Amino acid sequence: MKIPGKRLLSRIFRNCADPKGALGRVILRMMNFGHRPVYAWTFDHLMLADGMRVLDIGCGGGGAILELARRFPSICVDGVDASEESVAMCRRRTADVPNHGEIVKGVADALPSADATYDAVYAIETIYFWPDLRAGIREMLRVLKPGGIAAVSVECFNTDRARVWKSLVGRMEIRTPEQIVRTFREAGFTDVAHFVKGANLPTWCGMACIVGRKTNSHV
């Protein structure tokens, strides 16, 4: 498939994995806007409540944190991202959020958080760029409190349909919902379920959300 303006688009979208500079800020703004439906749909499955402490893994430009704060003003949300550009933008955009938490630089497979810190953790549109999915999911389990819930949401989960995005973004690994579910279970999550929306659309993968719970028996 020939993509008009592919060279320019690729220069922009290659910042998805590690936003840097002016083009990085462009892609962060694009993702904040374009991922709004995924933020909202993910939070519908997280069973959140006011007063919780939550972690956003791959917080990007802060769009998900702003949506979460709008829904639950008393929730405290920390954010972590591997990109310095993302951390800087997220800090700016969420500075006025009531009860906002810390936004720090870090990676998914070695989260800079203590064990059993959070009531809920989520990763939206970011696992494509994790070098080790298993390690990242295990880290989600580690930082959760017993009984806490985790969610991973993706829009690209069909290898054939996501081919055009891989050609633009470059370093990007597509995982199916079944692969993510299996990784959740192998890590030790229970009550693992996945939800898919819009998979029959002719031009897009749709949205997939995988959720799992840390049992009270985990110490």
CA 190 – CA 78 distance, rounded (Å) = 24
Please tell me the distance from the alpha carbon of residue 170 to that of residue 10, in angstroms, as a whole number: 8
Residues comprising the chain, all counted = 219
Give the separation between CA 12 and CA 8, rounded to whole angstroms. Answer: 7
Is residue 133 helix, strand or coil?
helix
Whether the Cβ atoms of residue 156 and residue 205 lie closer than 8 Å to each other? yes
Half-sphere exposure of 141 (CA within 13 A, CB side): 23
Which parts of 78-132 fold into alpha helices (H)?
A: 84-93
| Alpha-carbon span 195 to 177, nearest angstrom | 9
Catalytically annotated residue among 85, 125, 139, 155: 125
Residue appearing with tokens 């949506």 = 67
> What gap in Å lies between CA 85 and CA 79, rounded to an integer?
13
Residues 6 or more apart in contact with residue 34 via CB below 8 angstroms: none
Cα 145 from Cα 117, distance rounded (Å): 6
125 is annotated as an active-site residue: yes
Which of the residues are catalytic? 125
